[in-house]
Homo-oligomer: A and B are copies of this chain.
Amino acid sequence: MKLLIAVVQDKDSNRLSNSLIAEGFRATKLASTGGFLRSGNTTFLIGIEDNQIQHILDVIRANCKVRDQLVTPVSPVSGAADSYIPFPVEVQVGGAAVFVLPVERFEHF
């Protein structure tokens, strides 16, 4: 058995949760900030059999990989709002950092 600790951007957290449940994996979620990813993320703890590691890594990558997204900025609160023409800009979203840790013993009471 292994313990996966996965830090996932909040944007992808719910989608990953749903995919993990659909695939029969059980994850514990902790609210976290900063670090490997831009702030606002979720740390998943997932106990997993050795032969399921690649499967779950595929699920995490499918839901969380870094990609570009078009975002339309909101208009400025002050200044010449009349002459402001918002247009979408590309920002990077998503991403996950996954640690696979050895487990010496697992107990379920």
Q: What residues of B have a CB within 8 angstroms of the CB of A108 in the complex?
A: 36, 95-98
Q: Is the interface of A mostly helix, strand, loop or mixed?
A: strand
Cα–Cα, bound, A27→B28 (Å): 18
Beyond the given pairs A65-B109, A97-B107, 12 more chain A to chain B contacts, judged by CB atoms under 8 angstroms and listed by A's residue number, are A7-B45, A28-B33, A43-B45, A47-B97, A53-B105, A64-B109, A95-B108, A95-B109, A96-B108, A96-B109, A97-B106, A100-B104
Cα–Cα, bound, A95→B107 (Å): 10
List the 10 closest A-B pairs by CB distance, nearest first: A28-B35, A100-B105, A65-B109, A98-B107, A61-B109, A96-B109, A27-B35, A100-B104, A30-B32, A28-B32
